[in-house]
Amino acid sequence: MSEGPIKAPVIAVVGPSGVGKDSVMAALAARDPRLRLQRRVITRPEEAGGEVFTGVTPETFARMAAAGAFALHWQAHGLSYGIPVEIYDLRRGARAVLVNLSRAVLGVAQGLFGDLIVLSLTADSDVLADRLAGRGREDAGDRARRLQRASAPLPEGLRRVIEVDNSGPLATTVETVLTRLQPESV
């Protein structure tokens, strides 16, 4: 694994709502600080908790997007999500940059970032439902809508996809991910 390559890979962490993207990302960064977390801009109240993100109004988000503040942005779950252009700087000196993306934007992300690794997390459907309910961030309607997207497919043509089941203990998932990242010099 190289130290601080000029432009570290971007690891797009994807999967159904509740699968554990933010939890796995935080645990990976805690294990290896060279795995940097890219903070997102979301039109969601910051007090919603979960990941560390910047909450803005839809009007502010639109102004930021128009001003070129995002490397990429998308809509999902009635929210807007943006990845700030700072991600290009974060890649310098990192082992890799972890970012929570929608499965729908992976083709764009691969074109933008070049060296993109997709970490596709999965979990059993009953586990997803239990975790969303336990997290308590969304109401029943939003949880149902999110669960409907659980099986959204990954786009064709992705160069590197690592699929890991996060139905079991988080620590086990983290070890599996770190092992699967090893051979390809990340």
Ligand X SMILES: O=P(O)(O)OC[C@H]1O[C@H](OP(=O)(O)O)[C@H](O)[C@@H]1O
- Going through 45-172 in order, the beta strands assigned E by DSSP cover 53-55, 70-76, 79-84, 96-100, 116-122, 161-165
Residues that bind ligand ATP (CB under 6 A): 17-23, 50, 131, 134-135, 166, 169-170, 173
What is the C-alpha separation between 168 and 123, in angstroms, rounded?
A: 8
β-pairing, 116-122 vs 79-84, is unpaired
Looking at the Cβ atoms of 134 and 183, the one nearer to ligand ATP is: 134
Q: Which of 8, 56, 101, 121 binds ligand X (CB under 6 A)?
A: 101
Q: How far is the CB of 123 from ligand ATP (least distance, A)?
A: 8
Nearer to ligand X, 90 or 106 (CB): 106
Phi, psi of 58 (to 5 degrees): -55, -35
Q: Which region, judged by CB under 6 A, interacts with ligand X, from 64-72, 73-81, 118-126, 128-136?
A: 73-81
Judge whether 17 is annotated as a binding position.
Answer: yes
By DSSP bridging, strand 161-165 and strand 79-84 are unpaired
Confirm whether residue 7 is marked as ligand binding. no
Which residue, 69 or 150, has its beta carbon nearer to ligand X?
150
